[in-house]
Amino acid sequence: MGRSVEADVLKIGLAQIAPVWLNREGTLEKILGYVHAAAEAECNLVVFGEALIPGYPFWIERTHGAEFNSPMQKEIHAHYMANAVQIEVGHLDAICEAARKHRLTVMLGCIERPGDRGGHSLYASLVYVDAEGVIQSVHRKLMPTYEERLTWSPGDGHGLRTHQLGAFTVGGLNCWENWMPLPRAALYAQGEDLHVAVWPGSEHNTQEITRFMALEGRSYVISVSGLMRGSDIPEDTPYRSEIIADSQQLFADGGSCVAAPDGTWLVEPVVGEEKLILATLDHQRVREERQNFDPAGHYARPDVTRLTVNRQRQSTIDLVD
């Protein structure tokens, strides 16, 4: 069972795992196993990487993904869509129930196919499930990166929210959103002192920015990455042979890590290994580092620079019945 949150102290689990690629049900089953493992390790919070359900779109760069009207690209995309997450029809219910059962908070990257945008477009979403098993926020990635734009849609600001977890205020962003200064500032201004950055994998993504964000925010920063190997691609995946042709053993090598509020490593990047990484955070360290710098408090100048954030969920229709 997950443990009660003690004053100042938070035990976290970074689940650096590979999906059962493009297979929603297989990946959900694997995630549930790691949720149970995190509970047995008495974690208060467990985090999974970006787009983990049902997986990152690695095929795009390997199969001429920008070719217009390609039958191959259409077929793979349709398969991806069929395995995406529809929260409103209950695809994450088992995760919510496990969180409630174990009194464990879960943050999870998934590919969402939301009904409020018509049900046929995909978003890279970061879902926050609290220890009551309730989904408190779904943050849709504001801007897909580079080739991701061939399969994911731009999100909105609705999920730019923070959540209280013991002494900590938790927020999170997807992958290269973490390079966007204004979304980071939006979370800082809401009191964030534990920042969660989720990634599809690879140390080159996490090595520098994790420590930088910790220094900028004077916060703990946890970067949680996935892994991806050719063996994680099921045999029935459309165009499997084309996707794995000329590939390295690892499509993504992990790189999950934790930086303390002074920018030092609490957990250095873990590469090439599928595991549950454990760490214990002490809020006292946040308060110590805020003594000389607080990006939204005593070192801010709202009379000079201020930020406006639109947190409305975007839709193409307003129905009045």
Q: What CATH number does residue 246 fall under? A: 3.60.110.10
Contacts 24+ apart (CB under 8 A), 247-254: 247/62, 251/58, 251/201, 252/56, 252/58, 252/200, 252/201, 252/202, 252/225, 252/226, 252/227, 252/228, 253/201, 253/202, 253/203, 253/227, 254/16, 254/201, 254/202, 254/203, 254/225, 254/226, 254/227
Domain that holds residue 57: 9-289
| Residue 28 falls inside a structural domain | yes
Q: What is the pLDDT of residues 120-158, one digit of tens each?
A: 999 999 999 999 999 999 999 999 999 999 999 999 999
Strands (E), the chain: 9-16, 45-48, 105-112, 123-129, 135-140, 163-165, 168-174, 194-199, 220-225, 227-229, 250-259, 265-271, 275-282
Q: What is the pLDDT of residue 5?
A: 66
| Residue 296 falls inside a structural domain | no
Contact between residue 109 and residue 125 where contact means Cβ atoms under 8 Å apart = yes
Least confident of 3-7, 44-48, 76-80, 114-118: 3-7
Cα separation, 8 vs 294, in Å, equals: 19
239: left (phi over 0), alpha (psi -120 to 50) or beta: left
Q: What is the pLDDT of residues 83-96, one digit of tens each?
A: 999 999 999 999 99
* Both structure tokens of 92: 């994450």
Residue 283: in which H helix or E strand, if any? helix 283-289
* Both structure tokens of 6: 């003690």
Contacts 24+ apart (CB under 8 A), 185-189: 185/295, 185/296, 185/307, 186/157, 186/160, 186/307, 186/309, 187/160, 187/162, 188/217, 188/295, 188/296, 189/296, 189/307
Cα separation, 51 vs 112, in Å, equals: 9
Amino acid at the residue 233:
I
| Residue 42 falls inside a structural domain | yes
| Residue 306 falls inside a structural domain | no
Structural domain total, the chain: 1
Active site residues: 50, 141, 175
Q: What share of the chain in percent tops pLDDT 90?
A: 92
pLDDT band at 7 (very low <50, low <70, confident <90, very high): confident
| Residue 315 falls inside a structural domain | no
Q: What is the pLDDT of residue 250?
A: 80
Report cis status (omega within 30 of 0) of the bond before 54.
yes
Contact between residue 135 and residue 96 where contact means Cβ atoms under 8 Å apart = yes
Mean pLDDT, the chain, as a whole number?
A: 95
Q: What share of the chain in percent tops pLDDT 70?
A: 98
| Residue 195 falls inside a structural domain | yes
Cα separation, 91 vs 101, in Å, equals: 17
Q: What is the pLDDT of residues 213-257, one digit of tens each?
A: 999 999 999 999 999 988 899 999 999 999 988 766 789 999 999
| Residue 308 falls inside a structural domain | no
Q: Is the pLDDT of residue 67 over 80?
A: yes
| Residue 177 falls inside a structural domain | yes
In 3D space, the residue among 50, 41, 6 whose CA is nearest the CA of residue 278 turns out to be 41
Strands (E), 210-249: 220-225, 227-229
Amino acid at the residue 297:
G
Q: How far is CA 153 from CA 113, 122, 132, 140, 173, in A?
A: 10, 6, 30, 9, 16
Q: What is the mean pLDDT of residues 1-6?
A: 64
Q: What is the pLDDT of residue 248?
A: 67
Report phi then psi at 31, rounded to 5.
-60, -45
Contact between residue 221 and residue 258 where contact means Cβ atoms under 8 Å apart = yes
Cα separation, 51 vs 64, in Å, equals: 21
pLDDT band at 1 (very low <50, low <70, confident <90, very high): low
